Chain A
Amino acid sequence: MISLTSPVRTRAHGWPAGAKLLALCVASVVLFALPYWQAQLVAALAVLSLYTLPGAVFLLHGLRRLWPLWPFVVVLLAWHLVIGAPREGAVIVLRMLSAVALANLVTMTTTLNAMMEVVKWLLKPLAALGVNLRKIELAAAMVIRFTPVLAEKGAALAMAWRARARRRASWRVILPFLVLALDDADNVAEALRARGGFGMDESK
């Protein structure tokens, strides 16, 4: 599976993930509280400079991930120019870009394992309430393992469709796809039980 983490290793990779997430929360709250376009411009430039620190590859990678926002930028700027409030528009557009860029920055510089550790720590109180965290962990691992498997099976179904029909596969391939996933679930559950399962009360 492709990874959203940065192609280059940065110094921020070594920082604790929890601290980065906390800083992100604080920064986002501040961004949403700042009503001045000058302040938003400074903030946006600060975020941009953070992206330039690890080099051009990192910067390009980061900018590419902001690309999906362009329809919003266009609509918002056009709208605010029409109603004659360009400053207000600048505040909203700049804030949106900085908020998304900052959050992406945390994702880019934090490994999946480090994120998982933070999630585990956050979920700890749930364990006291009787939630089996091992189940959540196992479910997450299974999703990571099975997404490419299912995607491959889905692509094979779509290809088989195209071999028979001249048009692209229609929504009708979703039913066999669903049945395949349910069959896989049966098999995996059985295999899991044969290996001892969760070793706990079966009635739950």
Chain B
Amino acid sequence: MTDPEIQKTIDSYLAALRKQLRELMEEDARDIVEEIRGHILDKTSGGSSPEQVSATLAALGTPEELAARYRTEELLRRAQLTRSPLVSLRSLLHWATLSFTGIVVFVVSVFGYAVGGALVIFAALKAAFPRATGLWKNVQPDRSWGLSLSFSNGTPPPGQEILGWWVLPIGLLLGTALLLLTFRFGTWMIRKFWRPRALPQPDGPTNLTCVGGA
């Protein structure tokens, strides 16, 4: 391997690492890549042989493994501190790729956010289009009846509107409560059940090796 080839090996390692860290904040990711670059350069300074470079990169793990350690630490920390449902949901998505519990929590959360969000939007529509938005009870000639939830700009559906204006506060309250509950559920589950042991351990038994010693 020639010098440009060594450089290419290092560069492609760092580029792969950078790509794997895209979930992190731009500044943090750049910081990490620069630190690892410095480490590799320090390790291989003074006439770097290809073997030396390979050994240095191997000791760091693959870009995927290394990034996973950063990401997991970072997501876990952010998920526990966050007040943003979006960050929480992204962490849950990451968790879903790691374990079955993660998948269940993610699906439940998506459902909770969707229904909660729909209720809030429904309440907002009632405020905007009061005549056409609401809950209608529709009694058929054979005395069977159905409920229809309607929101449109057009004419109200047939039948008797129930709840009326109450749809607004109830939808708003129920929707907000459900959104909050879903958020709390997600962060609580992460805190309670997402432990490092549930995460892949790319470091394996070579994480720390004891040598020598009597």
Whether chain B is bound by chain A comes out as no
Interface residues of A, Cβ cutoff 8 Å to B: none
B interface residues (Cβ-Cβ under 8 A, vs A): none
